[in-house]
Amino acid sequence: MAYTLAALGLAAGASAASADGLVIEALRMPAWVARNGVRLPAVVGTRLQSGDQLITGADARLTLRIGEGALLALGQDAVAELSFFGEGDQVDSATQVSVFTGSLHLTRLDAPANAAELSVRLASVVARLRAADLWVSSVPEGEIVCLIDGAIEVDHGKDATVRIDSPFACYQAPRAAAPVAVVQGDLGQIVRYTAQDYLKPGSGQVSAQGKWRVRLLVSQDQLSVLNAYAALRQQGYAAEFRPGGSSTHRVYEITLSGFVTEADAQTVADRLAAIRGLEPVVTN
């Protein structure tokens, strides 16, 4: 039996306050979900709740499925929070993603005509949409919203709402200057921006369909295994603790599972091999 998030309330199963249509679909560690003051490693299949905060570390990614036809990709070193408005906090009501730092790519082009509004809130800018493909970024220098397809409406403080429906148009809001309402973005740069938020083959991707595992440590020393397990989870890795062996010869194991390909598993194994005490081995 593997011990993971289930015992601590962030399991994949839905709860009364969860949004049935909003779930972590794929990720690259290290990444976390913070809920009710508790920060735990992000796990594929976790159903998210209003108020959940999503955090990605260096070179990490999180991909979420939002209801029908919406996909959200959160880039590295990002912090975002989810809010659902409506009866029962269901995702078919209005959904807001607040981005405190970092970037995300949100796509919803096939939404039905009666689809609820989605909004992306940055420090000073709010982008609202029903059907659109957009990329946003919040960094110390300012904020930017770039439309790729569809149409959005952008609000900035008390300024008049700006409608953007031209592909590759961007709304820029520097911290130390007045916002630049709409400028035509550089196509090549926007493509590079959006690509950086998505998971690439062999980069350490984990999904529900992934069959590859990394066995990180096997030992009879329960305390040393538990210490390594706790340290990995604190660092944003969804480690699993697996007791085994016989009643007279107990063995304890730490694994990471769900890697899409052998190359994905090997990438993470190579990264964690530098941690003293770990002996990563790729298995399936």
Q: Per-residue pLDDT tens for 58-73?
A: 999 999 988 767 889 9
pLDDT tens per residue, range 104-117: 999 988 877 777 88
DSSP codes joined into one string, 102-156:
EEEEEEE-S--TTPPPEEEE-SSEEEEESSEEEEEEEETTEEEEEEEEE-EEEEE
Pairing of strands 118-121, 94-108: parallel
pLDDT tens per residue, range 172-206: 999 878 777 777 877 877 888 788 888 888 999 99
Q: Domains of the chain: which residue ranges?
A: 5-195, 206-283
Q: In this predicted structure, what is the pLDDT of residue 30?
A: 97
Residue 224 has pLDDT above 60, yes or no: yes
φ, ψ for residue 178 (rounded to 5)?
Answer: -65, 150
Residue 11 has pLDDT above 90, yes or no: no
Name which residue leads in pLDDT, 47 or 18. 47
Distance CA 66, CA 202 (A): 25
Residue 20 has pLDDT above 60, yes or no: no
The two structure tokens encoding residue 131? 């059907």
DSSP codes joined into one string, 167-189:
TTEEEEEETTS--EEEEEPPHHH
| pTM for the full predicted model | 0.85
Classify residue 153 as exposed, middle or buried by CB count within 10 Å of its CB (0-12, 13-18, 19+). middle
Mean pLDDT within 211-226: 96
Q: What count of residues does the chain have?
A: 284
List the one residue out of 19, 50, 48 whose CA is nearest residue 32: 48
Q: In this predicted structure, what is the pLDDT of residue 246?
A: 82
Q: In this predicted structure, what is the pLDDT of residue 85?
A: 66
- Give percent above pLDDT 90 in the chain: 64
φ, ψ for residue 106 (rounded to 5)?
Answer: -115, 125
Residue 271 has pLDDT above 80, yes or no: yes
List the one residue out of 152, 162, 156 whose CA is nearest residue 178: 156
Domain 206-283 CATH (choose: 3.30.70.1070, 3.30.70.1150, 3.90.180.10, 3.30.70.2740) = 3.30.70.1070
pLDDT tens per residue, range 133-158: 999 999 988 999 999 999 999 999 88
CATH code linked to domain 5-195: 2.60.120.1440
Pairing of strands 79-85, 118-121: unpaired
Tell me: cis bond preceding 30? Omega within 30 of 0 counts. yes
